[in-house]
């Protein structure tokens, strides 16, 4: 019970308003943390990435300052955290003084690690919109006489830069994953190995001085730290034990490779788990619009419905928002949980729930319910929140069917089953607390007091948004 896990999500890039993808990542991280908190202590750490050329361009466009833009969008993210009643334990940012001091100190030790981090004159293609350097094989010549990659213009750069020598440490990183020092249970082994093998040395600085970023002074030469490395350093320096990272599939490769290199280079504890989640898509297009004015709006839904809607889907493939049926999801909750608690509360009001005798089948059902903790722990390690929720809902449906089959409202010979069914239901409701929230305590209390007029969930009649 004394073990403390630190759960991280990717830092939000605050050059623009937070979008539905950030909302999705926050929700699954919060539900994961609350399930983990049933047996251990857990912290949820989120934050913002406040540096990069995008801030400079956005500030020029809106005639403002980069710090003002990052603060505004960070407050929007925190407003969503408050609205969804997500409890965070720390806020980290690339613009915090503690972060800047840590980076400057670590890079002052660069002379000791020349084999892993080195300086070299670099010339090649640079993609400004993503702030990444591109290899030659992905750059093409477009019809409008421009060099592009993925239909985005690139520019040619020649400058003195700092590089991570990934090739020199690649075999050690592969050995770390093979020895399960870092576990990635929901990432295919073939995908992981391909990522580790195909990754190359990477430039982590810009010799060209940018107006907004962390400046490094190395041997009287000034560099600006690359924005992606800047973000990785932010949570590599925070809460360094029992780390769990929940990362989107588009940037998972960066956390599997260069993030681990930085931890090894600067002698920081490795994370225990790195989990990958998929994207939300709308009509086969990744959702990345602002929360205001997008095609698919979840803001009107209560927290429990949003959590169940998103966490009851598998993270092994993208979630198509156009195919989600909110009314069906709401009906499932009302049918499996709401109606069951109302039936049990009415039966308890009529007959009470005192135990008189117990059959073998009832005892086996009770023991199976008590094993849910073991099953949930196993599914948590595999990052299968959908399996947890589906299992609990199936058990509630089973109890509902047994009440109907035995006709507990009129069959005096089987009224003793009411005690078993009510306590199993209460235990399952308790295990649904990470999704439903504090309402679980009210539901259990009303059920055992026979308040059958209490409505756990009200029908919202929300059409597909």
Q: How far apart are CA 385 and CA 357, in angstroms?
A: 36
CATH label of the domain that carries residue 365: 1.10.730.10
Assess whether 270 and 343 both reside in one domain. Answer: no
- Place 292 in a pLDDT band, splitting at 50, 70 and 90: very low
Q: Is residue 235 part of a domain?
A: yes
Model pLDDT, residue 137? 77
| Higher per-residue confidence, 133 vs 3 | 3
Q: What does the pLDDT look like over 313-337, one tens digit per residue?
A: 888 888 888 778 788 888 888 888 8
- Place 390 in a pLDDT band, splitting at 50, 70 and 90: very high
Model pLDDT, residue 294? 52
Asked which of 277, 303, 338 is the last residue of a domain, the reply is: 277
Assess whether 134 and 265 both reside in one domain. Answer: yes
- Place 460 in a pLDDT band, splitting at 50, 70 and 90: low
| Higher per-residue confidence, 34 vs 414 | 34
Output Rg (C-alpha) for the chain, integer angstroms.
26
| Higher per-residue confidence, 280 vs 239 | 280
| Higher per-residue confidence, 300 vs 100 | 100
pLDDT above 80 (res 463)? no
Mean pLDDT for the stretch of residues 53-79: 84
CATH label of the domain that carries residue 213: 3.40.50.620
Q: How far apart are CA 175 and CA 62, in angstroms?
A: 48
Asked which of 277, 296, 315 is the last residue of a domain, the reply is: 277
pLDDT above 70 (res 293)? no
Assess whether 79 and 146 both reside in one domain. Answer: yes
Domain that holds residue 93: 4-277
Q: Is residue 300 part of a domain?
A: no
Q: How far apart are CA 14 and CA 156, in angstroms?
A: 27
Assess whether 340 and 269 both reside in one domain. Answer: no
- End-to-end CA distance of the chain: give it in Å, rounded: 42
Q: How far apart are CA 174 and CA 2, in angstroms?
A: 31
pTM: 0.89
Return the percentage of the chain with pLDDT > 70, whole number.
Answer: 90
**Residue 117, beta-bridge partner list:** 164
pLDDT, the chain, mean: 83
Q: Is residue 308 part of a domain?
A: no
Question: Which of 176-180, 215-219, 307-311, 405-409 comes out lowest in average pLDDT?
Answer: 215-219
Assess whether 228 and 350 both reside in one domain. Answer: no
Q: Is residue 131 part of a domain?
A: yes
pLDDT above 50 (res 464)? no
Around Cβ 455, how many Cβ atoms within 10 Å? 11
Assess whether 272 and 334 both reside in one domain. Answer: no
Q: How far apart are CA 185 and CA 246, in angstroms?
A: 12
Model pLDDT, residue 430? 92
Assess whether 84 and 210 both reside in one domain. Answer: yes
Return the percentage of the chain with pLDDT > 90, whole number.
Answer: 25
Model pLDDT, residue 243? 93
Model pLDDT, residue 213? 76
| Higher per-residue confidence, 307 vs 286 | 307
pLDDT above 50 (res 290)? no
Give the three-state DSSP class for 438. coil
pLDDT above 50 (res 202)? yes
**Angle, CA 376 vertex, CA 365 and CA 84 arms, to 5°:** 120
Mean pLDDT for the stretch of residues 141-167: 81
- Place 465 in a pLDDT band, splitting at 50, 70 and 90: very low
Q: Is residue 51 part of a domain?
A: yes
Tokens of 281: 């898509």
Assess whether 168 and 94 both reside in one domain. Answer: yes
Around Cβ 434, how many Cβ atoms within 10 Å? 21
* Burial of 264 from C-beta contacts in 10 A (0-12 / 13-18 / 19+): middle
Q: Is residue 381 part of a domain?
A: yes
Q: How many domains in the chain?
A: 2
Model pLDDT, residue 175? 95
Q: Is residue 37 part of a domain?
A: yes
Assess whether 334 and 212 both reside in one domain. Answer: no
Q: How far apart are CA 225 and CA 223, in angstroms?
A: 6
Assess whether 253 and 354 both reside in one domain. Answer: no
Q: Is residue 305 part of a domain?
A: no
Residue that is written with structure tokens 């075999």 in the block:
171
Assess whether 27 and 142 both reside in one domain. Answer: yes
Asked which of 256, 277, 298 is the last residue of a domain, the reply is: 277
Assess whether 334 and 272 both reside in one domain. Answer: no
């Amino acid at each position: 019970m004394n073990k403390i896990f630190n759960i991280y999500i990717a830092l939000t890039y605050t050059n623009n308003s937070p979008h539905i993808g950030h909302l999705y990542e926050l929700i699954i991280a919060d539900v994961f943390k609350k399930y983990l908190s049933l047996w251990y202590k857990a912290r949820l750490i989120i934050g913002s990435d406040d540096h990069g050329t995008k801030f400079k361009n956005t500030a020029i466009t809106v005639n403002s300052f980069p710090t003002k833009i990052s603060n505004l969008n960070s407050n929007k993210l925190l407003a969503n955290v408050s609205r969804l009643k997500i409890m965070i334990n720390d806020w980290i940012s690339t613009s915090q003084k503690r972060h800047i001091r840590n980076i400057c100190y670590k890079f002052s030790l660069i002379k000791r690690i020349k084999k892993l981090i080195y300086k070299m004159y670099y010339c090649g293609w640079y993609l400004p919109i993503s702030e990444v350097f591109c290899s030659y094989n992905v750059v093409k010549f477009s019809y409008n006489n421009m060099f592009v990659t993925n239909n985005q213009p690139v520019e040619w750069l020649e400058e003195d830069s700092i590089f991570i020598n990934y090739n020199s440490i690649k075999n050690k990183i592969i050995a770390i994953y093979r020895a399960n020092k870092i576990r990635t249970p929901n990432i295919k082994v073939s995908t992981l190995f391909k990522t580790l093998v195909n990754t190359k040395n990477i430039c982590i600085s810009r010799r060209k001085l940018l107006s907004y970023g962390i400046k490094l002074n190395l041997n009287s030469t000034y560099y600006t730290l690359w924005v992606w490395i800047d973000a990785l350093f932010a949570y590599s320096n925070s809460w360094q034990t029992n780390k769990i990272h929940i990362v989107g599939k588009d940037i998972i490769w960066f956390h599997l490779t260069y993030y681990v290199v930085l931890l090894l280079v600067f002698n920081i504890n490795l994370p225990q788990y790195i989990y990958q989640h998929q994207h939300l898509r709308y009509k086969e297009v990744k959702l990345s619009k602002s929360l205001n004015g997008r095609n698919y709006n979840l803001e009107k839904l209560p927290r429990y419905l949003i959590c169940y809607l998103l966490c009851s889907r598998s993270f092994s493939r993208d979630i198509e928002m156009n195919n989600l049926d909110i009314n069906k999801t709401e009906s499932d909750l009302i049918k499996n949980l709401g109606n069951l608690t109302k039936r049990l509360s009415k039966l308890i009001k009529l007959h009470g729930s005192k135990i008189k005798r117990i059959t073998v089948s009832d005892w086996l059902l009770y023991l199976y319910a008590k094993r849910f903790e073991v099953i949930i722990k196993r599914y948590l390690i595999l990052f299968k929140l959908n399996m947890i929720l589906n299992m609990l809902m199936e058990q509630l449906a089973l109890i509902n069917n047994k009440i109907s089959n035995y006709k507990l409202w009129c069959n005096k010979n089987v009224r003793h089953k009411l005690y078993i069914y009510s306590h199993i239901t209460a235990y399952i409701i308790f295990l649904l607390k990470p999704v439903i929230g504090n309402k679980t305590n009210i539901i259990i209390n009303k059920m055992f007091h026979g308040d059958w007029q209490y409505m756990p969930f009200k029908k919202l009649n929300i059409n597909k948004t």
